[in-house]
Amino acid sequence: MRRRFKRVFHQGLTFFLGYLPTSIRHRLIRSQLNLIYDLPEGLHFKIARTDKELQGAFALLHDSYVDMGYMLPHPSGLRVTFYHLLPSTTTVVGIYKDEVVATLSIIRDSSHGLPMDSAFSLSRLRKEGGKLAEISSLAVHKEFRNKGGLALFPLFRYLWIYCRFYFAVDYIVMATHPRLSEMFDALVLFSPLEEKQVPNYGFANGAPAVSKVLDLRKAPMLYAMKYGDKPDAKNLYRYMVPPDMGGVEFPAICLPNREDFRISDPVMTPELLRTLFVEKAQALENLNEEQIRTVVSHYSTPSYTENVPQILRLTEKIQLSLRRPAEPRYDVQCTGQLRRPFAKDPKFPMLVTNVSESGLGGKATGNLEEGQTYRITLAVAPLEVLALTVIVRWQNPQGLIGLEILRSSDRWKSFVRRLQTTSLDEAA
């Protein structure tokens, strides 16, 4: 009875607020903000890396989505999507007393696209040249709801700092239920990406959805303007930004410790792929041809094919139609310079955004010649610069370029192996 009363009261309040101007509604929502800086002992936030952490995240997500009608129950009791298989997806968890109590996944845009592409247009943001990531799979345990954002706001802080300073992202986008739309707009300062509402969003079992976007480059200024003069309990600027921008220290938020210029945090060991994703969650079932090719491109190395029979079968099937075996590629953000060997030509600056043992891609300044050999010096870590001999295989008018490596070194191979933090040796 009490639960029904709360639902009816909330519906009536929402109806009443709908008649107020947007600025007043948002001000009323922000007035309810009561940020908690002293988190309970033992509550911390990190990237999910272990079987227990990921399974806890996917189980919490499953139960929350089933309760909200966003999915039908799955026999595994887990919600795992194709995007969770990608090394460009990071799953963040809040853990309290050894239990996952909050989670969200951050899906970095790539050639595979984003879940939102199925219902909304992201072309405008992509044309502007910014890098996108989608917030997905957000869930908070029932015991941590209606507690002033005790778990939700630290999760948002992790999201903001990680995307901006670790994940090389300019925009975060999301699809959310219309009833949550105003909360994200009023508090976190999202704005509508498109005005339309999708009545049946397939990624959420046909629930309605609207699209949201936040420009991370402008977010500090927006937060400062909206919250900068507020007391700490209502100051989302101090809460969200890192200490060097005037924010507070949060020891409970455990960001990754990196020694090189990688921008992704892959966690998929062969054992994890086999036991959790394949055997328990059945994540390889019902993939289309393109998705299978994507999985094979990331996990066709011997450490996976020798330990995950399902991957071996997919690899053998796909590679029958490939001219050469697929090779894993890793997201980075490395600066370099190209120059023709033994020539006095000008150097061409390049930002390398993905690498493999035999190639690299990114954006170069200047008009390079396809088929021409170049020498590139590349900073792969703060105190590590490597030299490679490469040939230009393709380029487009936007400056994107693909290079094949003709001559490398053991140091280059060691760097690429470091990026694949989930090699069989490290998993053992």
Mean pLDDT confidence for 149-168: 95
pLDDT confidence tier of residue 286, bands split at 50, 70 and 90: confident
Give the pLDDT score at 428: 40
Give the pLDDT score at 342: 78
Give the pLDDT score at 427: 39
CA distance 389 to 391: 7
pLDDT confidence tier of residue 425, bands split at 50, 70 and 90: very low
Q: Same fold for the domain at 10-245 and the one at 330-427?
A: no
Domain 330-427, what architecture? Answer: Beta Barrel (2.40)
pLDDT confidence tier of residue 413, bands split at 50, 70 and 90: very high
SS (H, E, C) the chain: CHHHHHHHHHHHHHHHHCCCCHHHHHHHHHHCCCCCCCCCCCCEEEECCCHHHHHHHHHHHHHHHHHHCCCCCCCCCCCCCHHHHCCCEEEEEEEECCEEEEEEEEEECCCCCCHHHHCCCCHHHHHCCCCEEEEEEEEECHHHCCCCCCCHHHHHHHHHHHHHHCCCCCEEEEEECHHHHHHHHHHHCCEEEEEEEEEEEHHHCCEEEEEEEEECCCHHHHHHHHHCCCCHHHCHHHHHCCHHHCCCCCCCECCCCCCCCECCCCCCCHHHHHHHHHHHCCCCCCCCHHHHHHHHHHHCCHHHHCCCHHHHHHHHHHHCCCCCCCCCCEEEEEEEEEECCCCCCCCEEEEEEEECCCEEEEEECCCCCCCCEEEEEEEEECCEEEEEEEEEEEECCCCEEEEEEEECCHHHHHHHHHHCCCCHHHHC
Give the pLDDT score at 319: 65
Give the pLDDT score at 163: 96
Give the pLDDT score at 227: 94
The number of beta carbons lying within 10 Å of the beta carbon of residue 37 is 14
Q: Model confidence over 228-246: pLDDT tens digits?
A: 999 999 999 999 999 999 9
Give the pLDDT score at 15: 57
User: What φ, ψ does residue 165 adopt, rounded to 5°?
Assistant: -110, -10
The number of beta carbons lying within 10 Å of the beta carbon of residue 285 is 8
- What's the token pair of residue 70? 């966003």
- What's the token pair of residue 136? 């997905």
Mean residue pLDDT of the chain comes to 89
CA distance 175 to 158: 19
Q: Model confidence over 314-329: pLDDT tens digits?
A: 888 776 555 455 578 8
Indicate whether 14 pLDDT > 70: no
pTM equals 0.88
Give the pLDDT score at 283: 92
**Terminal Cα distance for the chain, rounded:** 53
Give the pLDDT score at 164: 94
CATH code for the part of the protein at 10-245: 3.40.630.30
Indicate whether 400 pLDDT > 70: yes
Q: Model confidence over 176-212: pLDDT tens digits?
A: 999 889 999 999 999 999 989 998 887 777 789 999 9
Give the pLDDT score at 424: 38
Domain segments of the chain as ranges: 10-245, 270-319, 330-427
